Amino acid sequence: MPSFDSAALVLVGISLFAAFVNGAIGYGFSSLTVPLALVFYTNRILNPAVVIVEVAMNVYVLVINARGVPSVWKRVFPILFGLLPGIGIGAMVNALNLPMYVIGGGVSSAWDAFATTMFEEMKFRSSIYSLTSPDRIGHEKGTIITRALLGSDAGLYGAARLPMLEGFSQLEKGRH
């Protein structure tokens, strides 16, 4: 039988306590396990172990509560898909600081479902957008983020229009 050192025993105790707290209030496993277990194990060893345990616990909870997923999904969808564009576009605003960003393609067809959450997340993540949002300094001067008027066809129209632009033929000559 392999040796079971005291650090492993303490880790098991910490994990059981954290699992108890997680079961009682619904969160806290990593918040309790990681700081206490870092005393005994390095970050390189602990992080993969905690991730594996967390994924296994979350999959288990999802399987147990599978019947409730459709009703919860209606509330999760705007949060989940509003955060992702909010984080990405917020980072672009911080890096580029352009006056306008246009969201097109298939994403624009779900605009009403995620736009509110996206703007809230961008105000939180992007210091530039929080200072230059249209509701703060006016629509004409602020950073504008809008959906493409052509919806999911915007890229197609843009690609079709590109050869008609004046400088496009000179641009192509420079490539060859």
Banded pLDDT at 93 (limits 50, 70, 90): very high
pLDDT at 1: 46
The confidence score (pLDDT) of residue 94 equals 92
Shortest CA distance to 149 belongs to which of 108, 115, 89? 108
pLDDT band at 27 (very low <50, low <70, confident <90, very high): confident
